[in-house]
Amino acid sequence: MRIGYLVTYFYPYGDGMENNCLSSAKEMVKRGHEVHVFTSDRRDGIISKNKEEIYQGIHIHRSKTFFRYGHYLDFSPGVVLDAFKFDLDILHIHAFGFPLYDFVVVLKKLFSRKTVIVNTPHGPFMALKNYPLWQKIFREIYAFFEYSINGMYDAVVQVNDDQKKWMIKAGVKKKRIAFVPNTIPEDAFRKIENKNFIKKYNLKDKIVICNLGRVMKYKGLDQVIRVMPLIVKKYPNVVLISMGRDKDNFTEYCKNLAKKLKVEKNIRFLGEVDEDDKLRGLDSADIFVLPSEWEAFGIVTLEAMARKTAVVSTDTEGSKYLIKSENGILYKWKDLINLRKGLLALIKNDKLRKKMAKNNYEKSLKFKEEIVAVEYLEKLYYKLLRKKL
């Protein structure tokens, strides 16, 4: 098959959506398929020099983004041209709500009917609740226009069991919804020495709570900091480590909050770390906490599970799929009382914590890239192609 992936950002950028697309692309190359990725040439003011690149067998085509406003509005006409440059069997788009991508879908349906079009939206269009009024109005207006476009896809991928509800409301035909979970690479399971890491961040003989992900408001790190005073009062050896790049200067806000609450000595802000230190940080952790307002899946949770860590998480779509009573504790966004109770329950109960960690590791093995690619994604592509014949 000749497969194309259309995604806003791609390698070397590495957030959830980018990693999901990279995982799919790599595995399809391994399976002998020709893979192309169409993406932007810039992010956060940094412009990629290589407009055309082959990475691990993936043909990456980067187009100039002339302007971008927020997450959804951008003008990268080269992406549209590149998507038509190749005679694709499959075009797999990542995300709903991008006018440019919707334009590609309409053109493909008009002029390239043999191409199978798939979408992994990861989440609803403008999924968060706290938008300014004008953005809420824009969301409703654009959702009305996009409804018919969402019905054009040959398949829409849900990564958890809850997504089907809002997909149907967004115009997706129920019979075209397919399940393909997110994945983690084999590398996420490799052994690594972390003695120097523990020494560097003074984690010896500490009970370590770890948060991994971008430091921004909806990711909720500040909520964990707010429950730290009472936790530290009971267990002075508890330490929270945060690993992830800053967004909108939210790290500084969290640091000031920690000082205000007098728990700054119990918190380590590591910033963005490389893959090795990410694994070392997760290996140092006793508990992984995901305090996000919303996550479609939460690959970082899966990464923590692979490192044999117990989990406390908000009841996001993804966490409700990954976390059950035997492997973690769920609580509602902004419910600081139950967040604190969940963390304390695992801090004081070694047996429960270790049991959950073991269960998490065993569960995470089912989400390896190769397994999901063979059992779910490639099968879906072939099934859709047969229908086109």
- Residue pLDDT, tens place only, 141-195: 888 888 999 999 999 999 988 899 999 999 999 999 999 999 999 999 999 999 9
Torsion region of 303: left, alpha or beta (phi above 0 gives left; psi -120 to 50 gives alpha): alpha
Q: What is the pLDDT of residue 63?
A: 95
- The pLDDT tens digits of the residues spanning 53-71 come to 999 999 999 999 988 877 7
Cα(275)–Cα(259) distance, integer angstroms: 29
Residue 145 sits at the vertex; the CA angle it makes with 178 and 150, to the nearest 5 degrees, is 10
294 pLDDT band, cuts 50/70/90, is confident
Q: What is the pLDDT of residue 343?
A: 98
Q: What is the pLDDT of residue 44?
A: 81
In sequence order, what are the residues at sequence separation of 6 or more whose Cβ sits closer than 8 angstroms to the Cβ of residue 284?
Answer: 194, 197, 198, 201, 203, 208, 210, 241
Q: What is the pLDDT of residue 183?
A: 93
Which of 129-133, 135-139, 242-246 has the weakest average pLDDT?
129-133
17 pLDDT band, cuts 50/70/90, is confident
**Omega before residue 12 within 30° of 0, cis:** yes
Go through the domains of the chain in sequence order and give each one's CATH number: 2-183+368-388 (3.40.50.2000), 186-366 (3.40.50.2000)
Cα(267)–Cα(227) distance, integer angstroms: 12
Q: What is the pLDDT of residue 126?
A: 66
127 pLDDT band, cuts 50/70/90, is low
Mean pLDDT of the region 75-101: 91
Cα(234)–Cα(270) distance, integer angstroms: 25
Q: What is the pLDDT of residue 214?
A: 93
The pTM (predicted TM-score) of the whole model is 0.85
| Paired sense of beta strands 34-40 and 2-6, if any | parallel
Share of the chain above pLDDT 70, in %: 98
Q: Is the pLDDT of residue 135 over 90?
A: no
Mean pLDDT of the region 246-253: 96
3-state secondary structure the chain: CEEEEECCCCCCCCCHHHHHHHHHHHHHHHCCCEEEEEEECEECCEECCCCEEEECCEEEEEECCCEEECCCEEECHHHHHHHHHCCCCEEEEECCCCHHHHHHHHHHHHHCCCCEEEEECCCCCCCCCCCCHHHHHHHHHHHHHHHHHHCCCCEEEECCCCHHHHHHHCCCCHHHEEECCCCECHHHHCCCCCHHHHHHCCCCCCEEEEEECCECHHHCHHHHHHHHHHHHHHCCCEEEEEECCECCCHHHHHHHHHHHCCCHHHEEEEECCCHHHHHHHHHHCCEEEECCCCCCCCHHHHHHHHCCCEEEEECCHHHHHHCCCCCEEEECCCCHHHHHHHHHHHHHCHHHHHHHHHHHHHHHHHHEHHHHHHHHHHHHHHHHHHHHC
Mean pLDDT of the region 301-322: 96
Mean pLDDT of the region 29-49: 93
User: Is the distance from CB of 79 to CB of 39 less than 8 angstroms?
Assistant: yes
